[in-house]
């Protein structure tokens, strides 16, 4: 009877996971969806605690206390700009938990002298591979985002061949582990080699592709949970992991399309196949860049009727979203139509800009996708670009040798006037110059994102 009730609780939690995920597809229902998912996880955890195999709760309670303390500290202290690296870290923790649980179950089964089914053997090996790749790959992604190591792609000769050989060796040990699961050394060799593969698969990916990497690692963590669910014969874990894995993979594909990347290239850590550009910054910028003051920008609003704000990582790093909200409200109060143009990979994770703008209660209907906003730029009086670079770089349309060649961009250069707020002329993650900075209709406001927006607000009010 107890087992039936536990399975019923797992079924109910799974239903909550599915409806919670559906709720996350729209900002208006996202909070409710998040709460439903959290409730589903709570029910699954409580149901698991009633499992008859649990002999003692001391270690579980200790883990709960320590984990809750760490989670609370992170939630309270981490800034919104650091959310991408926290997500990468949490993805890694999920992968690490998967291969550790699988290893513990393997030892328990050996100790109890249980029979090893083929499903159990294969699932153990899969947990080791996917979990370890996810953990170390996520740690490398975290280190890149946190700037503990270089954000640039780190390539060395023959690294793809080494990855392929390493993968074949891992598969060989997986076969040995399936054949002789009682030899636990095979399992830990799988974990060790897969950890190396996780590192080698992530270091060749540069900062510009981090949104894709984070989404992909999220999918990996779900697949690791699925494998561990088969190890434990836990239907709730299998279904929830499948939801995470499939949704992460779909999002990864969307990100790849948005960045003109091949999913296969990301999966195998292959960088851009385009040739390195030889154009120097001086060839593009020399004598062409026009600098303005906040007061001059404020004067532009005297005749403007339509304004589009394009946020980028510069808005995130300067914590300018609150100032941007105040500017938005001020311009709308003065009779202007103001909208936001959101590139799907602006920032460092999928939906980064949406999260920041939702934090300051910008109405969702004001956030326009790239497809929606691109049709309106020719009728836009002023575009204000805050820290975005590669996602507005017209080289993507004109230079086939560019690392971002073919990448869909926000066509801000078609607006009547473009004001770019940036500290300097430094390139974006792709490491290439941006001709938009020197365009005839572009004005550069060199400043910190938050300070520049606050100065514009003061100037508009003074005028």
In this predicted model, what pLDDT tens digit does every residue of 17-32 receive, in sequence order?
999 988 887 777 888 8
3-state secondary structure at position 311: strand
Range scoring the smallest mean pLDDT among 52-56, 277-281, 422-426: 277-281
Helix spans in 233-368 (H): 235-259, 263-267, 281-285, 294-300, 313-317, 321-333, 352-359
Task: Please give the torsion angle defined by the CA atoms of residues 114, 117, 118 and 122, in that order, rounded to the nearest 10 degrees.
Answer: -60
Residue 52: pLDDT band with limits 50, 70, 90 = low
pTM of the model: 0.78
Query: Any idea where the domains of the chain sit in the sequence?
Result: 78-267, 281-462
Tell me whether residue 390 is one of the annotated catalytic residues. yes
| pLDDT beyond 90 at 248 | no
| pLDDT score at 404 | 76
> 83: closest CA among 447, 426, 358?
358
Residue 445: pLDDT band with limits 50, 70, 90 = very high
Task: Find the angle CA(15)-CA(21)-CA(25) to the nearest 5 degrees.
Answer: 145
pLDDT in tens, 207-217: 667 778 888 88
Residue 385: enclosing H or E segment and its boundaries? Answer: strand 382-386
Considering the candidates 281, 326, 381, 390, report the single residue annotated as catalytic.
390
- Residues above pLDDT 70, as percent of the chain: 92
Range scoring the smallest mean pLDDT among 90-94, 261-265, 330-334: 261-265
Q: What is the DSSP string of 414-449?
A: GSSEEEEEESSS---TT----GGGGSTTEEEEES-H
Residue 386: enclosing H or E segment and its boundaries? Answer: strand 382-386
Interaxial angle between packed helices 83-111 and 352-359, expressed in degrees from 0 to 180 and rounded to the nearest 10 = 110
| pLDDT beyond 70 at 275 | no
| pLDDT beyond 60 at 262 | yes
Neighbours of 35 (CB within 10 A): 13
Distance (Å, whole) CA 436 – CA 444 = 10
User: What secondary structure letter does DSSP report for 291?
Assistant: B
| pLDDT score at 96 | 94
| pLDDT score at 226 | 94
Interaxial angle between packed helices 83-111 and 210-232, expressed in degrees from 0 to 180 and rounded to the nearest 10 = 20
Distance (Å, whole) CA 280 – CA 347 = 25
| pLDDT beyond 50 at 273 | no
Q: What is the mean pLDDT of the chain?
A: 86
Long-range contacts of range 276-280, CB-CB < 8 Å, 24 or more positions apart? 276/401, 276/403, 277/399, 277/401, 277/402, 277/403, 277/432, 279/432, 279/433, 280/433
Distance (Å, whole) CA 149 – CA 428 = 17
Among 83-87, 334-338, 353-357, the range with the most confident prediction by mean pLDDT is 334-338
Instruction: For residue 417, count CB atoms less than 10 angstroms from its CB and return exposed for 0-12, middle for 13-18, buried for 19 or more.
Output: middle
Residue 187: pLDDT band with limits 50, 70, 90 = very high
Is residue 373 a contact partner of residue 343, using CB atoms and an 8 Å limit? no
Q: Write b or e for each residue in 335-372: b if 16 or more Cβ atoms lie within 10 A of its Cβ, otherwise e.
A: ebebbbbbbbbbbbbbbbbbbbbbeeebeeeebbebee
| pLDDT beyond 80 at 228 | yes
Give the pLDDT mean for 382-402.
Answer: 87
Distance (Å, whole) CA 453 – CA 298 = 10
Distance (Å, whole) CA 221 – CA 92 = 7
Structural tokens at position 142: 């975290």
> Measured on CA atoms in the order 19, 24, 25, 29, is the torsion positive or negative?
positive
Residue 272: pLDDT band with limits 50, 70, 90 = very low
Distance (Å, whole) CA 35 – CA 20 = 7
User: In the chain, what is the greatest distance between 2 CA atoms, to the nearest angstrom?
Assistant: 82
Task: Report whether CATH 3.40.30.10 matches the domain 281-462.
Answer: no
């Amino acid at each position: 009877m107890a087992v039936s009730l536990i399975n019923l609780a797992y079924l109910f939690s799974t239903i909550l996971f599915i409806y919670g995920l559906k709720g996350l597809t729209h900002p208006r229902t996202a909070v409710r969806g998040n709460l439903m998912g959290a409730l589903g996880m709570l029910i699954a955890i409580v149901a698991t605690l009633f499992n008859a195999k649990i002999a003692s709760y001391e270690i579980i309670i200790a883990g709960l206390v320590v984990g809750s303390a760490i989670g609370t500290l992170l939630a309270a202290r981490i800034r919104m700009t650091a959310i991408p690296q926290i997500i990468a870290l949490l993805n890694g923790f999920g992968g690490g938990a998967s291969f550790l649980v699988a290893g513990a179950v393997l030892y328990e089964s050996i100790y109890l002298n249980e029979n090893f089914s083929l499903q159990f053997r294969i699932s153990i090996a899969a947990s080791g591979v996917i979990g370890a790749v996810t953990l170390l790959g996520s740690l490398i992604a975290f280190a890149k985002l946190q700037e503990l190591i270089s954000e640039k792609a780190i390539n060395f000769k023959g690294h793809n061949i080494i990855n392929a050989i390493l993968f074949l060796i891992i598969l060989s040990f997986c076969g040995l582990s399936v054949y002789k699961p009682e030899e636990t050394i095979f399992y830990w060799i799988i974990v060790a080699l897969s950890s190396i593969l996780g590192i080698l698969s992530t270091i060749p990916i540069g900062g510009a592709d981090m949104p894709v990497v984070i989404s992909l690692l999220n999918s990996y963590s779900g697949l690791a949970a699925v494998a561990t669910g088969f190890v434990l014969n836990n239907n709730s874990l299998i279904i929830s992991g499948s939801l995470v894995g499939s949704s992460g993979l779909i999002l990864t594909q969307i990100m790849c399309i948005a960045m003109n990347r091949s999913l296969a290239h990301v999966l195998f850590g292959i960088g851009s196949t385009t040739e390195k550009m030889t154009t120097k910054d001086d060839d593009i910028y020399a004598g062409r860049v026009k600098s303005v003051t906040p007061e001059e920008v404020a004067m532009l609003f005297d005749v403007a009727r339509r304004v589009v704000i394009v946020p980028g990582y510069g808005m995130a790093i300067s914590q300018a979203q609150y100032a941007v909200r105040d500017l938005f409200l001020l311009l709308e109060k003065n009779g202007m139509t103001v909208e936001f143009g959101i590139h799907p990979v602006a920032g460092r994770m999928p939906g980064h800009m949406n999260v920041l703008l939702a934090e300051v209660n910008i109405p969702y209907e004001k956030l326009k996708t790239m497809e929606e906003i691109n049709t309106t730029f020719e009728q836009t009086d002023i575009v204000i670009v805050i820290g975005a670079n590669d996602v507005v770089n017209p080289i993507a349309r004109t230079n086939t040798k560019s690392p971002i060649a073919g990448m869909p961009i926000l066509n801000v250069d078609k607006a009547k006037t473009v004001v770019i707020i940036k500290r300097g002329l430094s390139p974006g993650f792709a490491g290439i110059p941006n001709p938009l900075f020197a365009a005839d209709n572009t004005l550069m406001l060199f400043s910190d994102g938050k300070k520049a927006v606050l100065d514009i607000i003061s100037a508009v009010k003074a005028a």
